[in-house]
Amino acid sequence: MVAMNPPTDQETRGRNDIRGLAEPDAEAPKVARVEGGTATFDAADLSPRLVNLELRRLIYAEGIREVRIENPGAKHSIAVGLLARCRITINGSLGYFGATLGDGPEIHITGRVGWSVAENMMSGVVVIDKNAGSLTGAAMRGGDLVVRGHVGARTGIDQKGGTIVVGGNAGSMTGFMMQRGRQIICGDVGPGMGDSMYDGEIYVGGTVAALGVDCIEAEMTPEDEELLDRKLGIYRIDRPDTFRKFVCGKQLYNYDNLEPSERKLVL
Amino acid sequence: MCGIAGIIHTDGPGDVGAEMTKMLQSMKHRGPDSAGYALYGEPSELVVMRFKLADPNETSDFDYNERLERNRREVESRLSKIGATVDRVEGESAYAYRATFRYEGELKPLADYVEDIRGCEVLSLGHSLEIVKDLGDAQTVADQYHLDSFRGTHAIGHVRMATESDVDIAGAHPYWAYPFSDVAVVHNGQLTNYHQWRRRLERNGHRFQSECDSEIIAVYLAERLADGTSLETAMKQSLEDLDGVFTYLVVTEDSLGMAKDAMAAKPLVLHEGENLVALASEESAIRAVLPQEIDSYDPYESEVLVWSR
């Protein structure tokens, strides 16, 4: 029998460390050019981790407040977890999980984004000039997320705050399990809109294919009109003439209704 | 998870072999278990049959090599017996082969007769379709089968993360739409009414080579196409008939189609260029062949789209 050496951590995990972090030893590549307070760098030959390290270096260590990224090449997980006020322009398209977990930055993406853009954003602004994939603004807590084109399915799933503005159409299950916040969709919305939503408002300028469970239409108030004018005005999106407002019907609010036997126990 | 990709040139043949390798390799993280290609070259008068006689996972016993050689000759002789004029049978790897022959008859009896040989699976059959699939990433498979030089009009590919069945060639995509000539399918997702459909299709005389749920999409579509249903109609029917989450791509001799389930649960990014349509689970795969900024979008739920070359 030949004794086999167990594989080392390095062999089994490749370039990931014990936390699953890719390229654990990577350092910021220091490739940005800084001119008049604006830093610019090309992301074409950098891995997502190196792009994010460079961003962090510029924003946290150098204190630069304006960064421009060229050739993002639809990479995943770019500009994530930034917790500072800054302005980032991404000149191109991103893959999945772009601009997620942010608290403060204003991020402008001139191309398209994949799934889960601005997921869990706490505050700040993310503006996308073209289309977005599914799960746009999932579990978002605050800030403004603006998509000038169309979005895929399940926009604002589990949204807990903030505003999602869509210039085009939205797919199925928009606002699924939404808990707070607002969605303004100028175009048409697919089936199952507002399914199982707890709270919050969805404003729709086009048609709705079908409402989800416990989503009902509500009356527009002057405050609603003012909000739509203001939000669409800020981002210069053409405002459809009429909007309809949809909210939770609150027929599924059964959380405190104990079963009779349980009630007896409690009493 | 799995990654799927498709590309179709509408202005004549291109380097679809090399392009598909780039697309699949950029999605390696979505499925490292196996990679597969369905490539369409110039339609030939001859029938092209890709088949395998063993699986790379198989332990090779004492007469492994002799058995493969014996079985290869048996395939050749059975092709002749059923009325095909064999042009050539070439070994593409230790266990996978490519045969070309002249044949006018029904494909089903031919495929059944050949597959009756122990360990034999017909991977693809048609005048221009060639399915190549093996374990490892796309570059490994492309190098092994020399796919970088393959020229053609359209192709689909798949990188697999096995969830529902074994890691072997039988479980790898694309699936040939047995027994229908020149049709193949790749799929990302899970089908929950697999067993019902498998029993139904088996009662109608179709064979299944794997335990993989995706295989029923190919055979399901083949059955509809054999009835004379158009590809687009068959795909629309599949949205009603198949249960589960799926995005699948299907290719025929002259077209490429995509279908997405009612929940839009699986991703697909689509770029429609002037002379080229490319679609993949991730945009980075499309960027592997079109590095410049492009317009792209996610097709919606229950959407069926078909392009022709």
- Answer whether A173 sits within 8 Å of B291, measured CB to CB: no
B1, B2, B41, B181: which one is catalytic? B2
Decide if B11 touches A, using CB distance below 8 A: no
Alpha-carbon gap: A132 to the closest alpha carbon of chain B (Å): 7
Asked, for residue A113, whether it belongs to a domain, the answer is: no
CA A189, A172, A117, A149 dihedral sign is negative
- What whole-number distance in Å separates Cα of residue A155 and Cα of residue A181? 12
CATH number attached to the domain at B3-43+128-308: 3.60.20.10
- What whole-number distance in Å separates Cα of residue B309 and Cα of residue B305? 14
Q: Lay out the sheet containing B175-176: strands in order across.
A: B175-176, B184-191, B244-251, B255-260, B304-308
pLDDT by residue (tens digit) across A19-63?
778 888 899 999 999 999 999 999 999 999 999 999 999 999 999
- Answer whether A96 sits within 8 Å of B296, measured CB to CB: no
Residues of chain A contacting B263 with CB distance shorter than 8 Å: 153, 172-173
Alpha-carbon gap: B282 to the closest alpha carbon of chain A (Å): 7
Asked, for residue A218, whether it belongs to a domain, the answer is: yes
The CA-CA-CA angle for residues A174, A180, A184, to 5°, reads 50
Q: Which chain A residues touch B if contact means CB-CB below 8 Å?
A: 73-76, 92-93, 95-96, 111-112, 114-115, 130-131, 133-134, 149-150, 152-154, 171-173, 190-191
Q: Which residue has the higher pLDDT, B153 or A17?
A: B153
Asked, for residue A170, whether it belongs to a domain, the answer is: yes
Residues of chain A contacting B283 with CB distance shorter than 8 Å: 74, 93, 95, 112, 114
- Answer whether B267 sits within 8 Å of A150, measured CB to CB: no
Asked, for residue A49, whether it belongs to a domain, the answer is: no
- Answer whether A75 sits within 8 Å of B284, measured CB to CB: yes
With a pLDDT cut of 70, the percent of chain A lying above it is 90
- What whole-number distance in Å separates Cα of residue B39 and Cα of residue B127? 11
Q: Say what the pTM is.
A: 0.91
ipTM attached to this prediction? 0.88
- Answer whether B297 sits within 8 Å of A149, measured CB to CB: yes
| Nearest in space to A178 (alpha carbons), one of A195, A158, A161, A196 | A158
Chain A to chain B Cβ contacts (< 8 Å): 64
Q: What is the pLDDT along chain A (267 residues), one digit of tens a residue?
A: 444 454 444 444 456 777 778 888 899 999 999 999 999 999 999 999 999 999 999 999 999 999 999 999 999 999 999 999 999 999 999 999 999 999 999 999 999 999 999 999 999 999 999 999 999 999 999 999 999 999 999 999 999 999 999 999 999 999 999 999 999 999 999 999 999 999 999 999 999 999 999 999 999 999 999 999 999 999 999 999 999 999 999 998 877 666 667 766 766
Range of the domain at A217: 131-247
Decide if B14 touches A, using CB distance below 8 A: no
For B268, the closest chain A residue by CA position comes to: A133
Q: Looking at beta carbons, which pairs linking B140-146 to residues 24 or more positions away fall under 8 Å?
A: B140/B35, B141/B34, B141/B35, B141/B36, B141/B37, B142/B17, B142/B18, B142/B21, B142/B37, B144/B93, B145/B92, B145/B93, B145/B96
Q: Lay out the sheet containing B34-40: strands in order across.
A: B129-135, B34-40, B154-160, B3-9, B276-280, B269-272
For B299, the closest chain A residue by CA position comes to: A152
Contacts of B17 (CB under 8 A, 6+ apart): B37, B39, B142, B147, B148, B149, B150, B151, B152, B155
Given a contact cutoff of 8 angstroms between Cβ atoms, the answer to whether A136 and A147 are in contact is yes
Residue B199 tokens, joined: 């029993």
In a 3-state reduction of DSSP, which class is residue B84? coil
pLDDT by residue (tens digit) across A175-198?
999 999 999 999 999 999 999 999
What residues does each domain of chain B span?
Answer: 3-43+128-308
State how many domains chain A has.
1
Which among B262, B269, B295 has the least Cβ separation from residue A114?
B269
- Answer whether B298 sits within 8 Å of A92, measured CB to CB: no
Decide if B286 touches A, using CB distance below 8 A: yes
* Residue of A45, A49, A112 to mutate, testing the B interface (most B Cβ within 10 Å of its Cβ): A112
- Answer whether B267 sits within 8 Å of A171, measured CB to CB: no
- What whole-number distance in Å separates Cα of residue B116 and Cα of residue B112? 6
B212 is catalytic: no
